Amino acid sequence: MRAVRHKLVVGNWKMHGSRASNADLLSALLAAQPPVTDDADVAVCVPAVYLQDVSARLRGSAIAWGAQDVSAHDQGAYTGEISAAMLAEFGCRYTIVGHSERRTQHRESDELVAQKAQAALAQGITPIVCVGESLAEREAGQTEVVVKRQLSAVIHRLAHCAAEMVVAYEPVWAIGTGRNATSEQAQGVHAVLRAQLHAATGHGATLKILYGGSVKGSNAAALFAQPDIDGGLIGGASLNAADFVAICRAAG
Ligand code: 13P
């Protein structure tokens, strides 16, 4: 099931930044020119309130931008939520959905995550659908069951459009802990996800599956060299231009 898949490196800024620090980070990134080539794409997913600033700064550059969440609804009485149509107005190319921080802190269900992915696609925004097991689930031997259940809800809802999403495998125990999955552990889960995607959509060879969880300049190349790892979703290291560029270079 080997096919040419462009690598993709996405920075997830989470709830970090300020107008001033964002400007510094983006200028440093643009100056360093992370390799956005025929083989690798780069994007940053920023807090929604900064989308306008970030889109203005990155317009005309090869770095795409996206959001970290989206409402499952089109419009209406949903205080605090942001619709996919609103994100699309800012030229959003991607939105993360189902990040483990939202699944746990905001009790987002598999079904809600699937609805969010569908809402994004309906506006031409590529959902980056996060799946991943907790430490307790891994230790109980439940990794495959958990990630397959999370992904299956999205595949089921998106039906033929499932070919348009990006999947990110982020083991919860590796996020922000400095403890990344080994390349072999990550590859093992990615292969399971790809087989599931292929069986359900027929597009397993072309769908991108990113790895996220303590990716750094020092471990990115080994992770990205795995046959089923198509790039990364980067948290902490995406807040430092030199670190993020080093990770992008490992993909390009
Ligand atoms: P860290 O890279 O900080 O571990 O975060 C990963 C992540 O959650 C990206 O979405």
Summarised one tens digit per residue, pLDDT across range 28-47 is: 999 987 766 667 899 999 99
- As a whole number, mean pLDDT of residues 145-166 equals 96
Confidence of residue 178 (pLDDT cuts 50, 70, 90): confident
Q: What is the pLDDT of residues 13-31, one digit of tens each?
A: 999 999 999 999 999 999 9
Q: Which of 33, 31, 50, 43 is nearest to 7 (CA)?
A: 43
Q: Mind telling me the catalytic residues?
A: 99, 170
Ligand 1 contact via 175 beta carbon (within 6 Å)? yes
CA torsion through residues 131, 136, 137, 143, sign? positive
**Model confidence at 4: pLDDT above 90:** no
CA-nearest residue for atom 7, ligand 1, is 235
Ligand 1 contact via 171 beta carbon (within 6 Å)? no
DSSP assignment of the chain: ------EEEEEE--S---HHHHHHHHHHHHHH-----SSEEEEEE--GGGHHHHHHHHTTSSEEEEES---SSSSSS-TT---HHHHHHTT--EEEES-HHHHHHS---HHHHHHHHHHHHHTTPEEEEEE---HHHHHTT-HHHHHHHHHHHHHHHHGGGGGG-EEEE--GGGTTSS-PPPHHHHHHHHHHHHHHHHHHHS-TTT-EEEEESS--HHHHHHHHTSTT--EEEESGGGGSHHHHHHHHHHH-
Q: Which two tokens stand for residue 76?
A: 């209406």
CA of 214 to the centre of ligand 1 (A): 6
Domains of the chain: 7-251 (3.20.20.70)
The ligand 1 atom nearest the CA atom of 130: 10
Residue 139, pLDDT score: 94
Which pTM does this prediction carry?
Answer: 0.97
CA of 101 to the centre of ligand 1 (A): 10
Ligand 1 contact via 170 beta carbon (within 6 Å)? yes
**Model confidence at 1: pLDDT above 60:** no
